[in-house]
Amino acid sequence: MDFTHEQFVDGQRAADFLGVPRKTLLTLARRGSIPAYPLGDGMRHTWRFRLSELASCIQAKAVESGSHRGQREGYIP
């Protein structure tokens, strides 16, 4: 998949996409649990995300855990 032309989105847009609170999304980003891109060199970062990478990550985790069985095609928890 070619991500080079996909725009980055902010944390609120990514959180809305995943259906989680923004604070949860940022915690996952800091832990490295989801693909995220920190901007800035200080202790506090501004995070950016690619929705296609988030979708791929969630789908891969669902397949690994076996939780994808019985769900609608294209459904992202």
Q: What is the pLDDT of residues 41-77, one digit of tens each?
A: 888 889 999 999 999 999 888 777 776 555 544 544 4
What whole-number distance in Å separates Cα of residue 25 and Cα of residue 51? 13
Amino acid in position 16: D
* Contact predicate 57/76, CB 8 Å: no
pLDDT of residue 77: 46
Q: DSSP letter for 10, please.
A: -
Q: What is the pLDDT of residues 7-45, one digit of tens each?
A: 999 999 999 999 999 999 999 999 999 999 999 888 888
Its sign, for the CA torsion 24, 29, 30, 33, is: positive
